Amino acid sequence: MARKLTVAAAQVGAINRDTSKREVVQRLIDLLQQASHKNVKLVVFPEATLTTFFPRHLFDTQEELDTFFEHGADITQSTDVKPLFDEARSLAIDIVLGYGERTPEGTGYNTSVHYSASRDKIISKYRKVHLPGTVEPFKDPQAINQLEKRYFTPGNLGFPAYRAPGLVSDAVKSVSAKEGESTVGKGDPILGMMICNDRRWPEAWRVYALQGAELVMFGYNTGANMAHLWGSQDKPMSPEQAEQEALFHSKLVQQANSYMNACFSISVARCGLDDGKYDLIAGSAIVSPEGHVLAEAKTKGDELVVGEIDLSDCRQGKERTFDFARHRRIETYGLIPQQTGVVEPDLL
């Protein structure tokens, strides 16, 4: 049973600190319109899409910091961002959008939502779990900071897989399922969202895979050269070497985890040189359940990366190589939920 779907990673290039959200939203609408011409049904935008990657900065006032967040319970009604959702509805394209969320209680989250064009509403929300970086800035004034731990709270929604309606034809519904007939791999697509650093943690992928996820989506803002954050090495790298290493690791974790969890994945970069100083890698890609790159970005600017995927291709891995029900041995994995940091064996 073919379950084909045309998807896109909407890579977004440089955004300066003083770039307005309205200007960014117009760029996103342009990408969405390009997607419509290519019959795309699902577009994924990057992490913190609407502004420059503000956690690199230390702000003088709470008022200035808050301009980088979206406030209120429903982002689809945000004055600056509503035109994007209106266009998505008009073009009948689902979108996944990352942004800084400020809750009514004042908590900050690094958030992503899936807007369903057919339902005209948000059908799932994810808040970033694995926050990298530091609370306090580095003492070196030339360092590029990563202050997500200062501005965000770790996500409290877990890794909820969900089904998205209206994306594939002839999807089996609960009301149409025949009694006694298996519906596995026949319903609406099962999706999951992550954000940036989450992609480096296999636990996140596996939790989605245990819910049958067929497509995992994530945006990122990944520094091309952040020596202070990652620490020094015996062989220091040039900026060019550091960027290639960051690109290698970004692609490595996407391909490996797509294969090990038998799912498609879409990664999408907020990239380019912000304010002429802060360089972010590109590398947006669509990867198959066998770990192959189906399409990837060729630039470091605004670019639509399009691919047609067939969700039925997930069945090979899910039912054979990684048939969890037959092969997983949870009685041996006890340390995973019981222990956070490393505890070495006793010295000899």
Catalytically active residues are 47, 128, 196
How many helices (H) and strands (E) the chain has is answered by 10, 15
Distant-in-sequence, close-in-space partners of 173: CB < 8 Å, separation ≥ 6: 187, 188
Distant-in-sequence, close-in-space partners of 319: CB < 8 Å, separation ≥ 6: none
268, 220 in Cβ contact below 8 A?
A: yes
What the block records as the tokens of 177 is 């399922």
Classify residue 291 as left (phi > 0), alpha (psi -120 to 50) or beta. left
Q: How far is CA 345 from CA 72, 247, 332, 348, in A?
A: 49, 34, 17, 9
Beta bridge partners of 286: 266, 295
Distance CA(256)–CA(336), nearest Å, equals: 19
